Structure 1
């Protein structure tokens, strides 16, 4: 029989190993690096198509409801760099690295043209920053900013030229309510989980988070759906009538002998070359 001290040590080592394994979940997804090419392809799709793709796969909600475009022209796509804010507290303020070593400036320096800074606020009306801080994002050529909080100095931020998606705008001072605490950890933004490196796509309908690990699959489903919807729209334009004969359809469940299946066949889309049909789903 093994001595009890040995068993305790082994259990302790096992716990430490388990803790080490869990710690990996705080960073980017393993095996999920999104290439510039895939980013470009994801950005060519609508946020609706991406939401549909994740829904078909059974993933949790992916739209950040608390982030709307600051200007009608704003659209963004990039890899997530995350920043988490926590409610203000004196000891938090004293323990946070000061000046340029603060987590927010650490996050700023990680951002570039193919990155989107995603900031988790403690409340929708709290300010995550304004023109002086975000001047650095302009200098870095950041691909976009997304937050479920609010921003200050709206006109100036719009003039900076990078896409900004926020809950709203405000004149409040952020430090009075919250402080930046962690750069590039896993965060919750309007109840949606964001991991560093996830694809962030924003347009006039909102912002969608595409998990890095399944981004290629989501693109495949979403692109296929958009092609099909284009064909349906073309058909209804030429032959007006209720769209109910083609809708609703579920990716991976279109029947070959259905009105939609027959329409797609006239365009050369069949189970042999599409994953949208019954029995052809690859997810």
Structure 2
């Protein structure tokens, strides 16, 4: 017969064991090709500002920089998680072409970005022979907080690549691919499969799929306003503090910025950037 203390312990354990955890793409948050293209038309700093305005955590992957000047990527995230090398992990991992990394590769195309979580910034996530397949798939981009090898060949392949650095090291000696399309941590930023990944010369930003439409609305509105401010300051030089910086959703009616925007046809009636008009 079970003791009362044992029954109390199991009553606590059972709900925890049965709890459902978010392990993959966000439900109801799939990003359309049209929205993906619109997000890709914005700068990474505008997207960071949009998430900041909403109060979301930092979304910039600081450990990933463009491998060559001019690279820009946009796509839905396909994720791959690496774990530190261990003999039993190597034995239990699916072999050869069934490895999680090649499973991830085959999910990629022009509208996907492969996001690879490394165990360290200087460890190699791959090089020319592996990434030849990504070229063949015309992948939208590769992002990692680790390093890549065979740099010249990867640049020649033509797809955008963002990494911590480059290296001559062999990856399998330090880590092994373990899971495709799980939720991963990349330089302290959470990435879920299906999130929008946008990269340019300033870095890489993760836009959560579930709020991507709202982030675009805020960020696009901010870019329009910043262009107007820059145009005004170019024509009438002076301290930017008269108009800038500003907080989306909190521009005060009657302020110098509001009057400037009104002269361009932007008012609380047609913009969510003013005080009391925020829709987030």
TM-score by length of 2: 0.95
Cα distance between partner residues in 1 of 2:189 and 2:121: 14
Asked if residue 114 in structure 1 is aligned to residue 108 in structure 2, the reply is no
Secondary structure of residue in 2 paired with 1:26: coil
Given the alignment, which residue of 56, 59, 82 partners 1:59? 56
> 1:17-96 residue pairs with structure 2 within 5 A?
17-18=18-19, 21-22=20-21, 25-96=22-93
Cα distance between partner residues in 2 of 1:260 and 1:229: 10
Given the alignment, which residue of 194, 205, 211 partners 1:214? 211
> 1:141-152 residue pairs with structure 2 within 5 A?
141-152=138-149
**CA separation of 1:8 and 1:127: change in aligned 2, threshold 3 A:** closer
Structure 1, unmatched stretches of 5+, are none
Q: Which residue does the alignment assign to 2:264?
A: 267
Cα distance between partner residues in 2 of 1:250 and 1:201: 23
Q: Which residue does the alignment assign to 1:168?
A: 165
Secondary structure of residue in 1 paired with 2:179: strand
**CA separation of 1:9 and 1:267: change in aligned 2, threshold 3 A:** same
Cα distance between partner residues in 2 of 1:245 and 1:178: 53
Asked if residue 255 in structure 1 is aligned to residue 252 in structure 2, the reply is yes
The alpha-carbon deviation at position 73 of structure 1 amounts to 1.9
Secondary structure of residue in 1 paired with 2:204: strand
Structure 2, unmatched stretches of 5+, are none
Give the root-mean-square deviation of aligned CA atoms. Answer: 1.6
The alpha-carbon deviation at position 17 of structure 1 amounts to 4.2
Q: Which residue does the alignment assign to 1:232?
A: 229
Length, aligned pairs only:
276
Cα distance between partner residues in 2 of 1:204 and 1:169: 17
Cα distance between partner residues in 1 of 2:220 and 2:110: 24
Cα distance between partner residues in 2 of 1:120 and 1:8: 37
The alpha-carbon deviation at position 248 of structure 1 amounts to 1.6
Cα distance between partner residues in 2 of 1:12 and 1:152: 46
In terms of fraction of residues, the more helix-rich structure is: 1
Cα distance between partner residues in 2 of 1:260 and 1:113: 40
**Please, which moves more after superposition, 66-75 or 8-17?**
8-17
Cα distance between partner residues in 1 of 2:47 and 2:10: 48
Given the alignment, which residue of 246, 253, 258 partners 2:243? 246
Cα distance between partner residues in 2 of 1:14 and 1:47: 41
Cα distance between partner residues in 2 of 1:172 and 1:50: 34
TM-score by length of 1: 0.94
